[in-house]
Amino acid sequence: MTKVLTYKVLYATLFVLTALVTVRCAKDEFPVDEDGLLITSRTSAYVGSFDLWSPTHQTVVVGTAAVDTVAQTINLQVQFGTDLTRLWPRFSLITDAKLEPKITGFVDFSDLENPKQWTVISGNRQVRKVYTVHVTVQQP
């Protein structure tokens, strides 16, 4: 009786181990893009919120930035005295989306006549939406 029980436990353990090894070794079939990011089935591509930081890592936006997902614009006002040449944009995007071009450092916003643009790309990498960031400076 004891021997039978021992064999049962042994077989059960062996089965669990084999299952684990099989699952662990299964080939990863999820695709990734050129940045190594997961390509999913999501088709949404929009900006949730936007902020601008100064080199001191403080926001320079007066109030909050107005994001229009239909017109694909972001309108915001920065504080008087903000150094527009060195600002760090901070986008909040829909799940799985990514931004182009990438933000890798401070961005020069001083050319107010030619607003900066970024493209939001959906999780399935099929939908691309160009957002334009319009900045105005608070005036006395």
Contacting residues toward another protein, per CB under 8 A: 54-58, 79-81, 83, 85-86, 138-140
* Distance, CA of 84 to CA of 110 (rounded, Å): 5
Report in angstroms how near the CB of residue 54 gets to another protein at its nearest: 7
Report in angstroms how near the CB of residue 123 gets to another protein at its nearest: 36
Q: Which is nearer to another protein, 51 or 83 (CB)?
A: 83
Take residue 114 and report the two structure tokens written for it: 């030619």
Report in angstroms how near the CB of residue 78 gets to another protein at its nearest: 11
CA angle 42, 46, 47 (to 5 degrees): 135
119 and 72 Cβ atoms separated by less than 8 Å: no
The SS3 of residue 117 is strand
DSSP state of 127: -
Report in angstroms how near the CB of residue 57 gets to another protein at its nearest: 7
Q: Which is nearer to another protein, 62 or 127 (CB)?
A: 62
Phi, psi (degrees; rounded to nearest 5) at 120 = -95, 130
Q: Which is nearer to another protein, 95 or 138 (CB)?
A: 138
Q: Which is nearer to another protein, 85 or 117 (CB)?
A: 85
